A and B are shown apart, each in its own frame.
Chain A
Amino acid sequence: MHTENTAPGGRVSATAAAWAGGCAAWLAAASALAYEPASAAPGRINDPAAGWDHLWHEVIVDITIIGVIFALVMAWFLWRYRARKPGEVGTQSKLSPAAVIGWAVIPTFIFMADDFYLAANGWKLWNDYRDVPADRMEVKLESGMYSWDYTYANGVRTQNVLRVPAGKPVMLRMTSRDTLHSHFIPDFRVKEDSMPGRVTYLWFYPKAPGEHVVSCAEYCGVMHSYMAGKIIVMPEGEFKTWLDQEVAKLAPADKAVDKSAEKTADKPANPPV
């Protein structure tokens, strides 16, 4: 099951999701374990990394405004109402019933409006993260203490270094052979845990050639902080050459083995994903 790829962020659907999330929590969580990435329409690519920077900026402005307003009001009160002579007491009078309600309801609605605004934007970007472009390269990742083991569709395997062509979205289907790990690529603003018994995924959009750090972001044991790797984005042609060389090095048996591995990974037997 997955979030429908409808126009994101309607107020009604956001509230509905909130209630659904709150009420049926346990049961519902259980019944929704199986989920699959949605594929965005061919040719449509919403790069989440760019979206992230945009939304981050927006949210920081939002919370800074709120924080500064509150801080200024409080600072003003502190100055204005500092005690002038000893023995003085405050003179605030009791709120009228109308004021009590007003001071509860009006802020509630203002805050709620901001919350829904933020939720809608967050959801929109979330959909970009979860709708993997149809035109993508898929790589399988098995993480373990303490390495990242990638397997390309044609059976080529690499460790700790993932080479990808520039200009093509890359999707990782991830699992783990021992503890939790999290494949974190700061430059692409994305991470997702991998764990034994389930398959998770993430995708990113490398546009230009270059190198990017990968690090483990879920505590996985003694050498957690040394579990680093890199992603090398290569010009398309160079990547092809490299991949062909690697395929040539593969023994025929390996290729066959990898075909079967591919099938099970799509529908892992136990437990389901």
Chain B
Amino acid sequence: MSFNIKEWIFTTDHKRVGVLYLIGSIAAFGVAGIAAMLMRIELSTLGPTITTNPTQYNVWLYAHGAVMILGFQIPALTGFFANYCIPLMIGAKDVAFPRVNALSVWLFYVGIILALLTFVVPDPPDVMWTGYPPYSTITTGNTALYSFTVLVLGFASIIGGVNFLTTVAYMRAPGLKWSNLNIFVWCTLGAFVLQLIFVPVLGTAVTLISFDKYLGTHFFDPSRGGDVLTYQNLFWFYSHPAVYVIFLPFIGVVYEIVATFAKNRVFNHKVVLWGGIGGIVILSGEVWVHHLYVSGMADWIRIGQMVTTLLISIPVGLLVISLAGTLYKGSITFETPMLYALGVLFLFLIGGLTGIPLALTSLTLHLSDTYYVVGHFHYVMAVAGTFAIFGGVYYWFPKITGRMYNERWGKIGFWLTFVGVNIVFWIMMTVGVKGMPRRYYDYSAFPQFESAHQWMTLGAAILGVGFLIAVANWIIGAMKGAPAGDNPWRSQSLEWTTVSPPPHGNWPSPPSVDPDWTPYSYERR
């Protein structure tokens, strides 16, 4: 196949746009991962270790948090997977607006360039990924870079969302009913609806801190009648739903993998759509105050949102039941993608259930802003989210490249990461309960935690090696893996019915499906 560089980087084809998203987000993961390793090394001894400048640590932490969420997980899930899979899964030749799609991936690159400038500009931003004023409006760090990173990435995501909602509404293959769409498609649409509703709120919030800092406004300045809590409300009004923007697509990926490797019907398909995904979309806008439990919000709203937060366990629980039920009477095999998906299934339990104590306002008066919180969200994002992304890349790898990765190294990489993440993030939660505050460059006030921190650094090294092996496996597999065939997993889903890798336009002739077809009907074969 001839390789035409401008048909790659200026592409408007959804698959190539998807691959560009993948490359960018994995690169972002690498850089943010290096920042994480630097932090872990810094924390391996009490007092200064590799830098004597606290701002240096704070900049790593800022870059790590912001890039992991905004530059890695959201783009990988709603950029790469959505782009690559949705048109193929609905039997479309491309998305509704291919040029808008190209704009979205280019803006994504602009966004990560802005984020990565953190490492080279003078006075880099040190406002943490939350960017709370008043600090963000008085720091000498470059808060504008933070604002623009968020705005550009947010805009990229919004136009992506508009594009995909339109695509699925109008471009489904003949005969493909809404209710028979892949669960991944449903999950991603849910995530896009959340993005469309809530990203603008975040955009407003970060714009206003730059206004306050550079243009002399007083949104968050109490001395002129402003209020610092306004920002926190706006920020979490988006950023809580954002965790479901991550959760929904990743659980969608897990559904595809589990159904394929169990060769089984999805348990209680309808309830997944309406109870699970629908429930999460509806509830996710009413719980943001659980991030403000110690911030001085009025008592009654803390109580109200304690209840709504707890109720989120219902739709999420329905999803977990359905995933477990999909294993029931299956015929299960354990290739690398399935190992990652099962990793999500087990470790998300830990992550999700440790959110329950945090949901209780009173327990959070002790737990908030400690390593317990850091442990909780790493279990749900860094572990469950990343495993789902890695599993998904392995799963669709033969489709994307037409080649096979190395199964043995895939498994070795998985187990190393699995061991590593549990060492790091379990210990995080335990020291957190004992009082270790987050965002500490130096924990001299808590010398008793030094050995725990050393174990965490060790665990981080192990998991880092695991991730490196996975990425190396993809690169080598893409270049010289064995030909994989069109449907190596014998999946029923539409994306596997075309050739691997799919040509421009996806199908030689556009597919159509029977009304009683579903992506998970295995027993009919």
Q: Which residues of A contact B (CB under 8 A)?
A: 1-3, 14-15, 17-22, 25-26, 28-29, 32-33, 35, 48, 51-52, 55-56, 59-60, 62-63, 66-67, 70-71, 73-74, 77-78, 81-84, 87-95, 100, 103-104, 107-108, 111-112, 114-116, 118-119, 121-123, 125-126, 128-130, 178-180, 182, 184, 186-187, 189-198, 200, 202, 213, 215-226, 228, 270-271
Contact present for A60 and B357 (CB under 8 Å): yes
Residues of A contacting B490 in the complex (Cβ-Cβ under 8 angstroms): 87
What total of chain B residues lie within 8 Å of the partner, measured CB to CB?
100
A166–B71 CA distance with the chains assembled, in angstroms: 51
Q: Contacts A90-B262, A192-B294 given: A17-B307 contact, CB under 8 Å?
A: yes
Contact present for B303 and A21 (CB under 8 Å): yes
Contact present for B365 and A219 (CB under 8 Å): no
Contact present for B294 and A112 (CB under 8 Å): no
Contact pick for A17, options B268, B303, B434, CB 8 Å: B303
Interface membership of chain B positions 271-308, coded 1 if the CB is closer than 8 angstroms to chain A and 0 otherwise: 10001000000000010010000111111111111111
Chain B's nearest CB lies how many Å from the CB of A39? 14
Q: Which of B290-334 contact A (CB under 8 A)?
A: 294-308, 310-311, 313-314, 317-318, 320-321, 324-334
Contact present for A118 and B324 (CB under 8 Å): no
Selecting from B91-99, B348-356, B392-400, B500-508, the interface stretch reads B348-356
Contact pick for B369, options A100, A116, A191, A198, CB 8 Å: A191
In the complex, besides A66-B353, A104-B271, 20 extra interface pairs with C-beta distance below 8 angstroms are A3-B300, A17-B300, A71-B349, A77-B330, A81-B262, A81-B330, A90-B264, A93-B523, A100-B268, A111-B314, A118-B359, A130-B299, A180-B132, A186-B435, A192-B296, A195-B296, A197-B227, A222-B58, A228-B445, A271-B227
Contact present for B275 and A104 (CB under 8 Å): yes
A130–B365 CA distance with the chains assembled, in angstroms: 11
B106 in the interface (beta carbon within 8 A): no
A194: nearest chain-B partner, CB-CB: B296
Contact present for A70 and B267 (CB under 8 Å): no
Contact present for B368 and A191 (CB under 8 Å): yes
Q: Which 7 A-B pairs have the closest CB atoms?
A: A21-B304, A197-B222, A186-B435, A90-B264, A122-B360, A18-B307, A22-B286
Selecting from B5-13, B20-28, B134-142, B244-252, the interface stretch reads B134-142
Q: Which residues of B contact A (CB under 8 A)?
A: 54-55, 58, 126, 128, 130, 132, 134-135, 138-139, 222-223, 225-229, 233, 262-265, 267-268, 270-271, 275, 286, 289, 294-308, 310-311, 313-314, 317-318, 320-321, 324-334, 342, 345-346, 349-350, 353-354, 356-357, 359-363, 365-366, 368-370, 433-435, 437-446, 490, 522-523, 525
Contact present for B306 and A92 (CB under 8 Å): no
Contact present for B361 and A122 (CB under 8 Å): yes
Chain A's nearest CB lies how many Å from the CB of B289? 7
Contact present for B298 and A33 (CB under 8 Å): yes
Contact present for A196 and B300 (CB under 8 Å): no
Most B Cβ at <10 Å: residue of A77, A116, A122, A198: A122
Most B Cβ at <10 Å: residue of A77, A92, A121: A92
A79: nearest chain-B partner, CB-CB: B332
Contact present for B267 and A92 (CB under 8 Å): yes
Contact pick for A115, options B298, B313, B321, CB 8 Å: B313
Q: Contacts A29-B297, A90-B265 given: A189-B440 contact, CB under 8 Å?
A: no
Residues of B contacting A17 in the complex (Cβ-Cβ under 8 angstroms): 300, 303-304, 307
Contact present for A220 and B135 (CB under 8 Å): yes
Contact present for B298 and A123 (CB under 8 Å): no
Q: Contacts A20-B304, A119-B307 given: A90-B366 contact, CB under 8 Å?
A: no
Residues of A contacting B298 in the complex (Cβ-Cβ under 8 angstroms): 1-2, 29, 32-33, 35
A154–B433 CA distance with the chains assembled, in angstroms: 36
Contact present for B368 and A21 (CB under 8 Å): no
B333: nearest chain-A partner, CB-CB: A83
Q: Contacts A221-B135, A222-B58 given: A81-B353 contact, CB under 8 Å?
A: no
